[in-house]
Structure 1
């Protein structure tokens, strides 16, 4: 049994790393045992205007880690990562439309490269102009195949390809400016040669955001399209006709209103097509290319793959366990949202689960091990996030005796060519993290032998000990029904899987290492401490995007208020209302915020208690708040009833409770409340209106009649009762 694990401070910087803390910029000259030797650049205090000269000092590891928790640490450049051009936006700041246009250009550049390799095109600008028609034809063919492959994989259902007329094809060609120019193709190719994929981005973000129709029209069209998405093999023309029919019906309904409302403008084919492309479920892009060079680099010879440090080479793969597990909702999943529980399919049936694992080749330690539910969008993103995350809390929750501290930033990752690992989202994550991607061709497991071997170890050392095995073939299975013999629930399986990883596999002597994986990790980290990422980098790579409204309290995300001086200035001195946010579950103490497609800004939580906390801590806190005590509820109920009863008794003793009125009294009050109302009905009953001086001739008679009425009222007033006097006084 190991001693209690001492909390280690993350090493966030390395030599020659450029960073900024607030307005101060620095560069790491050397990493020492007591901290970082940093060269600080000159800086000016914005409050006092005082100029500070450059100096050199040692910053402790704890100081940099604390600045990272509060979101003031920003990495400007890392020596092992590709340098970021200051004049170009970062990949995380690119708009989806920009990425789509860049991938459109890439298909033409790849078509040009194929023609150059086959000798059909010369690397001369005039030859590009002469063969522009062939370049356009091959580029459009590649782009059509690219979109068709994405659509087929995303929807997972077949469909005939829509045949376009020649006029429609010309319209598509004319949409892209400079499309038929050989000079343009020449520029695209050399931009790709000089800067890679980043050189194919255009200046689309500088264009105006002109919209032909208002937001209400767009929302109405999208609501109609949402009903049509599930139609099988629905053509664009049928969707356009459906949308136009719905708009006509809506305009007729608005015209028949008592106060006619403004009609929606009629939309055309191109506009509806643009909305379809914007809102269609084509989130997972699939990239096709050759992998001969990767196969050549990965082909093992002689001693095989050699590594000198931890996280130098990491292999990732998936494995469907040879064991049926009962998918029951137990106490482990109580704090999970309903959507995640539906993805896990916790319906009580027996199923085989799929594991996604990441193995460090140098130490043979598990860096990630988790189940992959069916239909999950990007399993590679979750596996990579687990590689960077400290897994000691997972080991503690499972009741393991040893810890699981294996985490850090990998240098090279080996993947197979599975559908889940060749999406554009997967490549974007790897590129943003600065990880070298080595793709192993399908059907060649010896190119990633370490992860393949450890899956067999899981089967032989763990799964064979429980009932419900599926067996590899019908002969081995015989009459055995593995689904009916399943005994492990999903929660129990996960607990045993974590305990086996930490207490059985990591502590067992490995024949190739001559020591246990745990000992190999400790030795490797003593010689070369693994590099970690800042919270800002983790949010850019693994954060979830959302949109929130700015209020006086700041931005509220998942029951936490985030506030900073920059947000206060935006709230008081601008018209900005809605902000885009990036939130990472591994650190809910800070979020990244931007407005109007501007740069990302780090904003900490208002309350200091959430600094450095995770989403798990937040869910536990919310679950504790939701727990109610029946005794407390009953105590408050009894207090309210007793207080109301005693209050009524005291009011009766003092005569403060008014008695209910009789029907006659209620009728009398009704007549009083409606006595002085002026209505058309009462004017009609009173007769026609007479002029002010119309009865001047009979003034004497009126005064005499009034004198007689006053004398009569005096005699009658002597006989009136107390009730009438009370009524006159009330009136």
Structure 2
């Protein structure tokens, strides 16, 4: 059976003095026509709105329309101020019991009056008292609503009212209905202070001592009050003045309870405890889209790990190991994590030796990048394809997140950045709970866990069990995130998993696409200045040139230019010429997609075989790059989780150490012998001598015609 409701056939009746509440906004009635009703807002602006009959009917069916009859009626307006509430059902229990008794006797009297069995004289009411009690009992829903043995005269249905009182109740009910039976008994009593001004002042002086970090008890405060009054009364007695009345313990207790609770907790336990206790708990954030809100925070890994790895350590020099903490020593690392608050998916994660601006920028880059390669290389069964440009990023007030590099990166990607209130981790509740999950679920699985306190540590010596390498740590982190955390039902997602929620919301809303490689170089690349010469630009021994650079050199001669260089791909750089940025590729196209660390490792390996060579065969370097990449694919992928040091100082140091006085080129082709038999080639000394002489005249790249992008400029 199908049910239908036609709003066009329903019309809402509104009186001239009614108050109309639409979505909790109050209106008064102006006029009505065939199209609908015109209502005026009651906010003092005088604005009026027309609601069609269909719209009012729809609002009523949705529970968004409330009408208060005769609210603006002149005769009822004054009486409305006498009632503390307009709803009898909302009255306190004791007040409701009194009204219930009055209503029951009024209804019983009116029924007997309609039957002609009673009139409003004292004699008639007294003669029918027993009958009135019986009928009132029938109208009463509960004979003992307070649930006590002695409910009191005002609420006990078995105690009838006096004839005059009953007539007043009937008259009030006829005038204002059931609301006319409301009383003001709760306002009775003497509410003036029993204590005098001097007594109150002395009492409160001692009571304020309760607001102390020493946290005295109420008993202690009352004892202080008694001592203070005894001393004051002794002074007054010497002056011939009457003694002050000593407050009772109950008076002291009530005075303490009358203090501002927030101020009390702040004074006794601190501001953080007061804020945690009194901060309202609502429904939380109203999030619907993936990456609508991303929280980023830092956490010191609770492990004493040996930060070295056979697959990764070979790619770094001893100095680099010391900088990265891969020196076979036990130390703690900082984990910087980004989480999508809508889906609870972890969308970024990097490890550093200390919180730093570069870590914040690198985790942001990870948020906008596809992380599938890390999941594949550790053998994860799930996918880590949660990426895109967030709408809002919320961080704490750490130095890394307030850095210019992080702020500018967010601005360039069109991301709104918000700093949470300092000292309020609950504002970043989602990421804080993730760290708790890591501590409780992941870390117990690992060796060498550092216990948080002496009690839990006991006789254990985690230093002796700190056998976890960096590869192990990175491997476990990625597998735990992809296969365990993302596939565990989450209470905040109504029992669904983060991965499942991401897939569902991605299909419905989607996310902003990641920046292309050019924008990534401009946003996340390292800033540097290079000298533009006839040979182009050189960074870490890699030469970059293009037709645009050659044209700029013709007009500007030798000059400094701004460069953006990304260590994850040294196959191209961004160069600013004038006010615009342009992509300039490496002369060696085999370097496309090659990370800087692989390039350094390969050139070190080749140079170590012939330290005095002035020319390095690029084909040999490419073979070394391929071998290192294949042998250390997993290590290099996991190394992306580490915040590497690519500061200008390090780049300058590497260029001086490895690439000074070295040229890269392909081997010369063998020439046919003059007699036609075999091939001839110059001796190494002759080749080197000729190369050096030629290099002094013009750059080697000027003679290379096989590559169309080998741009250079000849001297005249």
TM-score, with length taken from structure 1: 0.42
Higher relative contact order (CA 8 A, sep 6+): 1
TM-score, with length taken from structure 2: 0.43
Structure with higher Rg: it is 2
